[in-house]
Structure 1
Amino acid sequence: MSAEDKNLPHGEESTTVGEMNDTVAVGQPTEPRADADGGAAPTAAAADNPQTAAEAEGGTCPVAHGAPLAHPTSGDANQQWWPNRLNLKILAKDQPVQRPEDAGFDYPAAFEKLDLAEVKATIAEVLTTSKDWWPADFGTYGPFMIRMAWHSAGTYRVGDGRGGAGEGQQRFAPLNSWPDNASLDKARRLLWPVKKKYGQSLSWADLIVLAGNVAHETMGMPTFGFSGGRIDAYEPADDVYWGPETEWTNGGAERYKGERELDNPLAAVEMGLIYVNPEGPEGEPDPLKSAKDIHETFSRMGMNAEETVALIGGGHTFGKTHGAGPVEGNIGAEPEAADIEQMGLGWKNAYGEGKGRDTITSGLEVTWTYHPTRWDNEFFHILYAYEWELMESPAGAKQWRPVNGGGSDMVPESDFQGRREPRMLTSDLALRFDPVFGEISKRFKDDFAAFQDAYARAWFKLTHRDMGPIARHYGPEVPSEELVWMDPVTAPENVPGDAEVQAVKDAVASSGLSVTELVKTAWAAASSFRSSDKRGGANGGRIRLEPQRSWEVNEPAVIGPVITTLEQIAEQTGVTFADTLVIAGNWAVEKAAADGGVPVSVPFTPGRGDATQEQTDEESFRHMEPKIDGFRNWDPRPSKQFPSEFALVDRANLIGLSAPEMTVLVAGLRVLGAVPEGSTDGVWTENVGVLSQDFLTAITDIDTQWEKVAEGRYRGVTAEGKELFGTRDDLVFGSNSELRTLSEVYAADDAKEKFVRDFVAAWVKVMDADRFDARRAAKESVAQG
């Protein structure tokens, strides 16, 4: 939580969004916006949402079918007509044509050339230069900037690794207009002079986090460190599923099932909130019920109980919330719906002077501590110093104050004109009354050093979690301590040369392991990579460690013996297991291609290290386990809540693949036999283990007739009477118009070599996806001449 964890009502307009379950995330709500006449322009449904398929089974369709198309610029017309349409645009994100930098611009290198101390001094000056149009509380924007950085990073969730501060997405819809982000548009606008001064050498993503760090330091909190290198996006992310609701902060009941079981991969309790409702679940001021939500939400954002208490208590050491008057009738539209003359700012406040003490952001009016711009553990002392009674803010929000007028003159007003009592949120009291949180809170109350260390580490984790391994961290303040959540990998003692690589290949060739076994194992390791938070992949060889070794999708009984053999080869050759694994997979692809008549050499980048079990955060890795994987034609769900091809596209997006890359990889993996043991679905070839066009030839055969034989499974009969069986993850390459065009390219008679070349290129991309160390070393070598 932050200083403004409550929300503003969204008004009469509502967004359009589908529903989703499990861990698939291929859609997001669309934002209503004003058209030229001041009305609400029709919005195109964003990326396809698998759950819209439920419409056919009695669900409701979230798309406004009756809305006319105002103009092509208002969105994708096809999506409005066919809401179940597969969205492949998420496989073509961040195209060079959308980026304003010059070709070859290297942002991390530009950042490292900055004088970081000078940048921080510039930010510090901004923090204490109060503006008339947005006056600073208590004479500093420090708490405001902490809230901005927190809410930028706090969207991260471990379920799919999406969210976080890494691209500066807070600048775009929907995040720039979330109720929980009310008034943060002003925080970013206040930082524009800093961004203007340093230009391309300081990304918004880095600046937002750095401003939070500087804010802490100017108020006495020594930070754990700061890493730069976050590269800005120039378009909103349309691949993040934020929830099934069709309106903001409506209680969140739609995202829960059973005994308040939150759907995956969601973390926040309501649409438009970063974490939990500070008034309590669905506005019920019950600290113990609030604690349950806090435990669940923060754990889904990668935080344990100690980190959770430290973050809430530390964040609420500073600043205040804002609820000076009634929300209704006073607060205007959010930035995406605001009138054009507001120049991108939203939530125009008509109450009093509309600023300063008259500010309305959350509707809550709470200052937690006696010294709201000083770093200390006063929050915990105050939490336990009083008994608390329920009260309402001037906006009618539920909050707490000491009983019997306790502390009535201890807390300064934001303009220092008067004093009042300390106040708490329901979610704050949860830290006292929940047994687990309470024990930690008492310890932090009595041990300031322990609290300070825990908060500094938790803040660094919060704001850097989505950056991935240490090779992606830049600047003079990168901590020397490599933390377990960074997924550290011990550097190899030996980087194999050509002779050693060949020795591994020779050993693999004589091992008796099949092409299918080797491809399955290498793919299982490398395809765990997530471009969202840069976790997973083959580097570290964690496929041999828990929990990955036991993931059901990895077929432990199949890959276990393969891993054992590869470990023996690694020991014999002196090459790390991780490098051995990739070399073995490459050898299998080379053999499969040669057997198909197209000899190739699969490029190999050496230098992978082997991680230990102690270097592996088992709990967070458990969240990465796929529950469905179309690349391997694996879908164990007894009931298909949504079509599996949506999960396939989602997985391709997470790995960082394009639509052509997804197509050749699926086609190749099928003929190589990388499907569950005993299955023949999609394996439409007489020569399993040979890299051929056979899958593509079959899927584009105009004479084959298909019929549904079970949920998600189909039977085809060729003109010759041969039976083929496949899944939706197979048939989509013939049924979807965009994917069929790609299948036709690779199925053509002149594409035999092209298919193999493109498969190899896509294979290598996945094998090397997590090699940030190698790419950084290569860049630094070039820079040094």
Structure 2
Amino acid sequence: MPWSNDEWWPDQLRLDILDDNSADTNPYGEDFDYAEEFEKLDFEEVKSDIEDVMTDSQDWWPADYGHYGPFFLRMAWHSAGTYRTADGRAGGAGGRQRLPPESSWPDNVSLDKARRLLQPVKKKHGKKLSWGDLILLAGNVALESMGFETFGFAGGRKDAFISNEAVEWGPETEWGETSPERFEDGEVGNLKNPLGNTVMGLIYVDPEGPYGEPDVDGSAKNIREEFHKMAMNDEETVALIAGGHTFGKVHGADDPDEHQGPEPEAAPIEEQGLGWSHDFDKAGMISSGIEGPWNGTPTVWNMDYLDNLLDYDWTSVKGPGGAWQWRPVGDDIADAPGGQDQSETEEPMMLTTDVALKHDDDFREILERFQDNPEEFQESFSRAWYKLLHRDMGPPTRFLGPEVPDETLIWQDPVPDVDHELVGDEEIGELKETLLATDLSRSQLVKTAWASASTYRDSDKRGGANGAHLRLEPQRSWEVNEPDELESVLETLESVQTEFNDSRSDEVRVSLADLIVLGGNAAIEEAASDAGYDVDVPFEPGRTDATQAQTDVESFEVLEPRADAFRNYLGGEYDDLYDSPEERMVDTAELLNLSVPEMTVLVGGMRALGVTYQDTGRGVFTDQPGTLSNDFFVNLLDMDYEWEPVDEDNELFEVRDRDTGEVEWEATRLDLIFGSNARLRATADAYFADDDEEQFVEDFVDAWSHVMQLDRFDLE
């Protein structure tokens, strides 16, 4: 295979991660409606089919204890558990556990077999049941089959068919490694953003302990931070670990390095996508290198895990697979039946991560409370498990199926239902005139609409303009939103809203969420008119206004932009793995589901409109700011100018006239990258010519409308 451009020039800005946003990779075609297909399922039949598979041990991959429940539970957990709050990426949506790199992570050893066991279910129900839904539903059915009452289940996860190259998994180049660069200042328990796992290729933390050592204090720190980064508090963390480890066992009959074959992506072609073959018989399975069950009843929901952990002392030992694990002190603990030969017995074990919970004061208090209150343990685990499986799916309006709970939970970012008549064309026209007649500038109107809508993340369907969270904490205090100016803008918009709604004798009302977007649209239409173009920016009313009580402040904090190329906001110091502002720009564009042309035209248009952080004018390469012209591209590519860095970090630049040496404009890397990077320059070329401006205006309006509507799932 020839080398790629990334291999020839590894420091080149990667833009290919945006190509997936404009490509149709679904083999079912662009008209395929998964939600429509899912609703055709006989849901109970699907669950019955999964149950049948779960209790029918196969010779080619026999079930521990004659029941695949713990195996399917691990599969579902490891699919959903990759989710991290920092960028909302990963998780169960897309069924990406069946694609690299997750398909070949060392933490997912043998889960290729779990998916193959479910293949008959997928074959029977076809495109009506995605792999993303099937993998997680199998986990729910497993819990129910083993005596646990789940909180509910929602379908609706469309399958992905290519890997998500936008996910940053860490700085290491080998699976199973942990480098100090993964942590801020190299400190355990302080992961750099956007990471959510402490070891390359593991879902959460190293079960042996930090850096493979049985360090319970360090393990507790890592657990707390890792689970916090996937939106779980201490109680949810303990519930998930204790609930999950109530079932099944881990496999480490011998050293995997000596007896285990390559992962699926490296396996020979005749393995047909399976990996990790080993030369032991099935009674001596190898996966993690850790061996044993947590308790004596591995396929039954009960309190045995909690009782074993809290009622016995544990000491660290090297298990038969060469990994650190913990055995009970003394011999009076109840043995478990053998995984394959149940006439044999196995002594229960614990992981370092289990013992860490017992040695951390706050975690232990929760463990003891759960031990004393089994019903509370059941309730906490059921809710935490539901959250784990659904955290990346967005609002419950997207949820499908007969088991969706009636209760809307705070982590689902609830917004009120529409309880009034929506504004029509006549009212929209009236509101536009009113907004443009206020003392708000075009830049302020556009900036406010962008600040509201651009919080959206397609990764986990959070954020966006619906709810008008911009007027609530924490968003109204974010530095990028210029809180003092924003407060003044919101006061004006709220007065327009109040006056309009009070003047209606009928049931027609406008929400502030709709008004914010409409203000940006009106400003763009006027700016295009000044450039000589008559445009109508699409607007669909129907957004509502959330309350502060409906807003989990801590949960919303992760949406705060570290940088915003579209407002030319560089931000401050970063505790993440991105090396440059332009990398953060591409990352944001990917989360906004933008293509390279859409990202390019939005930056150029926002500059022409004079929309910059603190009105610095950086990148506003025009003598007529506020007019929707293509001047940004015209002057960026004009060889009458030269560019000179003016700070040590090469983030700020002066644009000088080549002949006179006079400074014409200031710029940042977020401007000059569109002339420096070959692909971005080629895209900018499409907008700088004399006959390109009309196309530029049309494309800007389309891209702007795309962002404004990203969270309108009610329109799908």
TM-score normalised over the length of structure 2? 0.95
Q: 1:131 to 1:294 in 2, by over 3 A?
A: same
Please state if 1:405 is matched with 2:346: no
What is the DSSP-based 3-state SS (H/G/I as helix, E as strand, rest coil) of the residue aligned with 1:405?
A: coil
In structure 2, what residue type is equivalent to 1:363? Answer: G
Other-structure match for 1:143:
70
Would you say the 8 A contact 1:94–1:234 is kept in 2?
Answer: no
Q: Over residues 1-44 of structure 1, what are the superposed CA-to-partner deviations in whole Å (9 max), with x where a residue is unaligned?
A: xxxxxxxxxxxxxxxxxxxxxxxxxxxxxxxxxxxxxxxxxxxx
> What are the residue-to-residue correspondences of 1:282-301 with 2, within 5 Å?
282-301=211-230
Would you say the 8 A contact 1:252–1:269 is kept in 2?
Answer: no
Q: Over residues 667-722 of structure 1, what are the superposed CA-to-partner deviations in whole Å (9 max), with x where a residue is unaligned?
A: 01111111122412101111111111111111111222222222212222235645
In structure 1, what residue type is equivalent to 2:460? Answer: D
> What are the residue-to-residue correspondences of 1:460-479 with 2, within 5 Å?
460-479=386-405
Other-structure match for 2:46:
119
* CA distance in 1 between partners of 2:210 and 2:551 (Å): 34
* CA distance in 1 between partners of 2:571 and 2:164 (Å): 29
Shift of the alpha carbon at 1:504?
A: 2.1
Q: 1:117 to 1:477 in 2, by over 3 A?
A: same
Please state if 1:756 is matched with 2:697: yes
Other-structure match for 1:689:
626
Shift of the alpha carbon at 1:250?
A: 2.1
Please state if 1:627 is matched with 2:562: yes
* CA distance in 1 between partners of 2:322 and 2:550 (Å): 49
Q: Which of 702, 713, 735 is 2:652 aligned to?
A: 713
> What are the residue-to-residue correspondences of 1:277-356 with 2, within 5 Å?
277-351=206-280, 353=281, 355=282
Other-structure match for 1:676:
613
* CA distance in 1 between partners of 2:191 and 2:30 (Å): 44
Tell me the matched-pair count: 699
In structure 1, what residue type is equivalent to 2:332? Answer: G
* CA distance in 2 between partners of 1:409 and 1:103 (Å): 55
> What are the residue-to-residue correspondences of 1:182-201 with 2, within 5 Å?
182-201=109-128
Shift of the alpha carbon at 1:311?
A: 0.3
* CA distance in 1 between partners of 2:156 and 2:574 (Å): 43
Q: Percent of pairs identical after alignment?
A: 52
Q: 1:414 to 1:563 in 2, by over 3 A?
A: farther
Shift of the alpha carbon at 1:597?
A: 1.3
In structure 2, what residue type is equivalent to 1:276? Answer: V
What is the DSSP-based 3-state SS (H/G/I as helix, E as strand, rest coil) of the residue aligned with 1:297?
A: helix
What is the DSSP-based 3-state SS (H/G/I as helix, E as strand, rest coil) of the residue aligned with 1:231?
A: coil
Please state if 1:485 is matched with 2:411: yes
Q: 1:269 to 1:559 in 2, by over 3 A?
A: same
Shift of the alpha carbon at 1:615?
A: 1.2
Other-structure match for 1:209:
136
Shift of the alpha carbon at 1:596?
A: 1.5
Would you say the 8 A contact 2:292–2:347 is kept in 1?
Answer: no
In structure 1, what residue type is equivalent to 2:559? Answer: M
Q: Over residues 382-423 of structure 1, what are the superposed CA-to-partner deviations in whole Å (9 max), with x where a residue is unaligned?
A: 111111122221112111122121315355544312223321
> What are the residue-to-residue correspondences of 1:67-78 with 2, within 5 Å?
71-72=1-2, 77-78=4-5
Would you say the 8 A contact 1:325–1:363 is kept in 2?
Answer: yes
* CA distance in 2 between partners of 1:274 and 1:364 (Å): 16
Shift of the alpha carbon at 1:97?
A: 4.7
Other-structure match for 2:312:
386
* CA distance in 2 between partners of 1:693 and 1:712 (Å): 24
What is the DSSP-based 3-state SS (H/G/I as helix, E as strand, rest coil) of the residue aligned with 2:293?
A: coil
Q: Which of 671, 678, 692 is 1:730 aligned to?
A: 671
Shift of the alpha carbon at 1:124?
A: 0.5
* CA distance in 1 between partners of 2:149 and 2:168 (Å): 35
In structure 2, what residue type is equivalent to 1:663? Answer: T
In structure 2, what residue type is equivalent to 1:459? Answer: W
Other-structure match for 2:500:
573
* CA distance in 2 between partners of 1:738 and 1:158 (Å): 31
Name the stretch that deviates more: 710-719 or 108-117.
Answer: 710-719
In structure 2, what residue type is equivalent to 1:518? Answer: L
Q: Which of 635, 651, 669 is 1:698 aligned to?
A: 635
What is the DSSP-based 3-state SS (H/G/I as helix, E as strand, rest coil) of the residue aligned with 2:391?
A: helix
* CA distance in 2 between partners of 1:545 and 1:377 (Å): 43
What is the DSSP-based 3-state SS (H/G/I as helix, E as strand, rest coil) of the residue aligned with 1:725?
A: strand
| Alignment RMSD (CA, Å) | 1.6
Q: Over residues 341-379 of structure 1, what are the superposed CA-to-partner deviations in whole Å (9 max), with x where a residue is unaligned?
A: 11111111112x1x2x21010011131122111112221
Q: Which of 732, 741, 748 is 2:682 aligned to?
A: 741
What is the DSSP-based 3-state SS (H/G/I as helix, E as strand, rest coil) of the residue aligned with 1:390?
A: strand
Q: 1:639 to 1:101 in 2, by over 3 A?
A: closer
What is the DSSP-based 3-state SS (H/G/I as helix, E as strand, rest coil) of the residue aligned with 2:667?
A: strand
Residue ranges of structure 1 left out of the alignment (5+ in a row): 1-70, 776-785
Other-structure match for 2:505:
none
Name the stretch that deviates more: 629-638 or 692-701.
Answer: 629-638
* CA distance in 2 between partners of 1:636 and 1:240 (Å): 22
Other-structure match for 1:441:
367
Shift of the alpha carbon at 1:639?
A: 8.6
Q: Over residues 134-182 of structure 1, what are the superposed CA-to-partner deviations in whole Å (9 max), with x where a residue is unaligned?
A: 1000111101001001101111000000110101111111111110011
Other-structure match for 2:507:
none
Other-structure match for 2:552:
617
Q: Over residues 466-507 of structure 1, what are the superposed CA-to-partner deviations in whole Å (9 max), with x where a residue is unaligned?
A: 000112111111111111111111022222222322232232
Shift of the alpha carbon at 1:88?
A: 1.4
Q: Which of 168, 174, 179 is 1:241 aligned to?
A: 168
Would you say the 8 A contact 1:409–1:421 is kept in 2?
Answer: yes
Q: 1:639 to 1:572 in 2, by over 3 A?
A: closer
* CA distance in 2 between partners of 1:572 and 1:288 (Å): 59
In structure 1, what residue type is equivalent to 2:311? Answer: A
What is the DSSP-based 3-state SS (H/G/I as helix, E as strand, rest coil) of the residue aligned with 1:467?
A: coil
* CA distance in 2 between partners of 1:202 and 1:95 (Å): 25
Shift of the alpha carbon at 1:571?
A: 2.1
Q: 1:390 to 1:463 in 2, by over 3 A?
A: same
Q: Which of 567, 572, 585 is 1:648 aligned to?
A: 585
Would you say the 8 A contact 1:411–1:422 is kept in 2?
Answer: no
* CA distance in 2 between partners of 1:175 and 1:559 (Å): 42
Would you say the 8 A contact 1:139–1:415 is kept in 2?
Answer: no
Q: 1:639 to 1:386 in 2, by over 3 A?
A: closer
Would you say the 8 A contact 1:607–1:774 is kept in 2?
Answer: no
Shift of the alpha carbon at 1:595?
A: 1.5
* CA distance in 2 between partners of 1:107 and 1:263 (Å): 36
